[in-house]
């Protein structure tokens, strides 16, 4: 069994594909740095992440795939599913061997799995747009904590920077321990060394701006007044707004 070891970066994956073609050998498994080799490994090839190689593979994809299909690969990359990198590599290989149209082949288990993963990530991105609740802190920064299933925060970044362009905000992924801080001009990735008890599912009370509680109360009351008791359907509510998001939602307190 042939195993490729790479640095678990997107460019690394593209370089691995480059190496596979130049060696004329396709790996049976991919492992990250420091990971133990799987059973029955005969040979391990170390992939050197090379910007030039990655760029060349990406240019090849640009020639073969329409933008939507390319973004599907980017979405799938942000998915956190076991061995999704091997799945991507197999699909990429089919694209280079058979042309970009093969991504439409939904009866193929690999392509179907890739589509499904990309779809899950894109749903998670959508839910982030829906369910992020910004809270105004005392210094005027708006803050929200998120715990998405997949690593979807970078994909939703353009929405937040466009929509809240004249605010300062911080959206923090607590599961992966990083976030984006937007200072009114551009967003940058940060990791808080020590959050001083500030960040839980929501912002702690003592950090809130003066009028924040009031607007939260207004929103909660508005939300409650809007439900029509004769039509109550909590199962539908839970299906559209799954329980795992509730801890971040002001109105579900």
Partner 1 sequence: MKATVLEKLKVLAESAKYDVSCASSGVTRRNRPGDVGSTAGWGICHSFTADGRCVSLLKIMLTNVCIYDCAYCINRRSNDIPRAAFTPDELAELTIEFFRRNYIEGLFLSSGVVRNPDFTMERMVRVARDLRTVHRFNGYIHLKSIPGASPELVAEAGRYADRMSVNIEIPTERNLLLLAPDKNYESIYRPMSYIQQGVLQSAEERTRFRHAPRFAPAGQSTQMIVGATDESDRDILLLSSSLYARPTMKRVYYSGFIPVNPYDKRLPALDKAPLVRENRLYQADWLMRFYGFRADEIADERTPRLDLEIDPKLAWALRHPEFFPVDVNRADYESLLRVPGIGVKSARLIVTSRRYRTLTQQSLRQIGVVMKKAQYFVLCRELAMGQGVNELRPELVRRLLTAPQRRKSDKNEGQLTLF
Residue from 2, 61, 157, 241 touching partner 1 (CB under 8 A): that is: 241
The reply to whether 208 sits near partner 1 by the rule CB under 8 A is no
Site membership for partner 1, residue 141 (CB under 8 A): no
Sign (positive/negative) of CA torsion 60, 62, 63, 64?
A: positive
Min separation Cβ 220 and partner 1, Å: 10
Q: Which residue in the set 34, 67, 109, 197 belongs to the binding site for partner 1 (CB under 8 A)?
A: 109
3-state secondary structure of 208: strand
Q: What is the DSSP string of 146-162?
A: E--SSS-HHHHHHHHHH
What Cα–Cα distance (Å) separates residue 6 from each residue in 33, 76, 159, 168? 6, 18, 32, 37
| Measured distance CA(97)–CA(176) in Å, rounded | 36
Q: Vertex 28, ends 26 and 30: CA angle to 5°?
A: 100
Between residues 51 and 105, which has the closer beta carbon with respect to partner 1? Answer: 105
Selected binder of partner 1 within 166, 205, 206, 210 (CB under 8 A) = 166
Among 41, 147, 151, 167, interactor with partner 1 by CB under 8 A? 167
Residue 234 sits in the site that holds partner 1 (CB under 8 A): yes
Give CA–CA dist 117/76, Å, rounded. 6
Of positions 23, 25, 165, 200, contacts partner 1 by CB under 8 A: 165
Interface region with partner 1, contact rule CB under 8 A, candidates 29-37, 52-60, 82-90, 231-239:
231-239
Q: Which is closer to partner 1, CB of 42 or CB of 234?
A: 234
What CA–CA distance (Å, rounded) separates 135 from 207? 10
Burial class (CB in 10 A: 0-12, 13-18, 19+), 198: middle
Among 65, 102, 117, 146, binds partner 1 (CB under 8 A): 102
Assess contact for 115 and 72: CB atoms under 8 A: yes
Q: Quick check: 132 binds partner 1 (CB under 8 A)?
A: yes
Binding site for partner 1 (CB under 8 A): 101-102, 104-109, 112, 126, 129-136, 142, 144, 159, 162-167, 211, 214-215, 217-219, 221-223, 225-237, 239-241, 249-251
């Amino acid at each position: 069994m042939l195993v490729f070891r790479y640095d678990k970066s997107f460019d690394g994956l593209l370089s691995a594909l480059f190496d596979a073609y130049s060696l004329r050998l396709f790996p049976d498994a991919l492992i990250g740095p420091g990971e133990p080799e799987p059973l029955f490994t005969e040979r391990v090839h170390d992939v050197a992440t090379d910007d030039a190689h990655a760029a060349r593979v990406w240019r090849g994809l640009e020639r073969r795939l329409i933008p939507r299909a390319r973004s599907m690969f980017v979405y799938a990359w942000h998915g956190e599913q076991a061995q999704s990198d091997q799945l991507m590599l197999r699909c990429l290989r089919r694209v280079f061997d058979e042309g970009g149209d093969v991504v439409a082949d939904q009866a193929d288990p690999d392509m179907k799995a890739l589509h499904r993963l990309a779809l899950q990530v894109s749903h998670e991105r959508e839910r982030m747009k829906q369910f992020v609740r910004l809270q105004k802190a005392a210094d005027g920064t708006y803050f929200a904590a998120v715990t998405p299933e997949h690593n979807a925060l970078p994909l939703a970044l353009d929405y937040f920077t466009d929509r809240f362009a004249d605010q300062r905000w911080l959206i923090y992924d607590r599961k992966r321990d990083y976030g984006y801080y937007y200072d009114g001009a551009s967003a940058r990735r940060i990791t808080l060394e020590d959050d001083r008890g500030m960040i839980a599912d929501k912002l702690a009370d003592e950090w809130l701006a003066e009028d924040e509680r009031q607007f939260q109360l207004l929103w909660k009351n508005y939300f409650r007044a809007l439900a029509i008791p004769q039509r109550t359907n909590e199962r539908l509510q839970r299906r559209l707004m799954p329980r795992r998001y509730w801890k971040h939602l002001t109105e579900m307190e």
